[in-house]
Amino acid sequence: MKRTLLAAALLAAMTVYAQPPAWQQGRPPAMADSKLAPLAGRNTETPASEIPIGKVKLPKGFTAEIWATGMPGGRAMARGDSGKIYMGTRGLGRVYEVTDEGSRRTSRVVVDKLTQPSGVAMHGGSLYVFAIDKVLRYDGIEKNPNVQPVDLTDRFNLPPQQHHNWKYIAFGPDGKLYVPFGAPCNICEPPPEYAQIRRYNADGSGMEVIARGVRNTQGFTWHPRTKQLWFTDHGRDWMGDKGPEDELNRITKVGLNFGYPYCHAKGVLDAEIKKKDACQGVTLPVTTMGPHAAAMGVIFYTGSMFPKEYQNTMFIARKGSWNRAVKFGFDVANVRPSKDGRKATVKPFMTGFLEDPKTAKFWGRPAYLLQMPDGALLVSDEQLGAIYRVSYAKK
């Protein structure tokens, strides 16, 4: 009954936007016959023996090992105080809990049957789970694995459209919960509650829109010193192999506009949604992250394990392109911002997942990153449902 009511409410909400302005799939005539399509994910488990970890390439002194397997579709990772790691998924609808037992890792499913519960965050001992249409909080879950969730859905006023509305979430240094609401299309003039980043108090109150013109951010973090928020944003599809490139942005104050749908990357005008002075008042990215790269998880490295040159630099996982004839990304990049934070250099750091860009031959797709207390870097592979550990030792 409850589900029927919910479905009815969803349908009612949808009809409001039955004909949004300038809805476009965005496909120029030249690409009408293109065969590009999203790359297939896997819903089944991949054992460690089928993961060719030896193909990973890293700078000298770094090593990658398979740290955990058996979490199909695992994406963002949130680590609790006791060391348990929670992982969200999209299509498979699960949230995993990964437990480090020293010599090996085990995992269990905390919750399933959710609609793309990709957003996970730990805060004050509670696990927050964001699906497209549901928000759950598990209090004290690390100590009490059977704790029943508190349903916070009603407090967050989630809009009805699903596309690009699976979440990455994180708590900021201000204790607020940051939640993106992506554009519900490839390219369109989004209805007012989309294409933005919001923040809330932990209980869902006090909502503020802090940034607009954000197409689809799937990763953000705060600079360890300036406490400014840095986020990745996926560029639109179907404008060709050159881009527009994904963005790495910095929020210096509340209320900035990052350009979507009119102005992309470093001032690329949209091919279909046009307006006069499209880039006027738009905050351009610190740097671009490559065409269709799918820049995802982002961290600032503050650990003591890696060489000094990596201190306070960024690692950004690029899951890899689909909307591009020659594939790009499928790596973890090291990004070094300038002192004033206005520019940055991007250099591939962990590669080898993409074996042939021309035939789209790849075996893994790095998606998210987590710095461990010992300074090692965990990298989730959404394609194979695995976590790799990158460590450094002077040789």
27 binding other proteins? (CB under 8 A) = yes
Residue 348 binds to other proteins (criterion: CB under 8 A): no
Quick one: which of 202, 152, 162, 200 has its CA closest to 182?
A: 162
Q: How far apart are CA 336 and CA 317, in angstroms?
A: 14
Stretch that binds other proteins, among 34-42, 313-321, 333-341, 342-350 (CB under 8 A): 34-42
- Distance, in Å, from the CA atom of 180 to the CA atom of 178, rounded to the nearest integer, reads 7
Q: Give the tokens for residue 95.
A: 């949230």
**DSSP characters over 57-84:** B-STTEEEEEEE---TT---EEE-TTS-
| Residues from 102 through 121 that contact other proteins (CB under 8 A) | 112-113, 115-116
> Smallest distance, Å, CB 51 to other proteins?
9
Choose between 36 and 147: whose C-beta lies nearer to other proteins. Answer: 36
Residues in region 120-149 near other proteins by CB under 8 A: 132-133
Q: β-strand 287-291 against 256-257: which pairing, if any?
A: unpaired
Taking the complex as a whole, the smallest distance from the CB of residue 174 to other proteins amounts, in Å, to: 31
Tell me the C-alpha to C-alpha distance, in Å, between residue 31 and each of 36, 240, 380. 9, 8, 33
Closest to other proteins by CB, 157 vs 228, is 157
The length of the chain is 395
Burial (CB < 10 A; 0-12, 13-18, 19+), residue 320, is buried
Q: Coil, strand or helix: which one is 310? A: helix
CA triple 385-96-386, angle to 5 deg: 20
Task: Measure the CA–CA gap between 123 and 91, rounded to whole angstroms.
Answer: 25
Residue 39 lies near other proteins (rule: CB under 8 A): yes
Binding mask 184-213 for other proteins (x = CB under 8 A): xxx---------------------------
Kindly state whether residue 341 participates in binding other proteins, applying the rule CB under 8 A: no
The sign of the CA dihedral 371, 88, 90, 161 is negative
Asked if residue 7 binds other proteins (CB under 8 A), the reply is yes
Q: Binding to other proteins by residue 42, rule CB under 8 A?
A: yes
> Applying CB under 8 A, which of residues 2, 33, 309, 393 lies at the interface with other proteins?
33
Give the nearer residue to other proteins in terms of CB position, either 40 or 393: 40
Q: Residue 221 phi/psi, 5° resolution?
A: -160, 175
Residue 363 as a binder of other proteins (CB under 8 A): the answer is yes
Which of 1, 5, 32, 393 is the binder for other proteins (CB under 8 A)? 32
CB of 182 to other proteins, least distance (A): 10
Least separation in angstroms between residue 27's CB and other proteins is 6
Q: Which residues bind other proteins (CB under 8 A)?
A: 7, 10-11, 18-20, 23, 25, 27, 32-46, 49-50, 72, 91-94, 112-113, 115-116, 132-133, 161-166, 184-186, 361, 363, 383-384
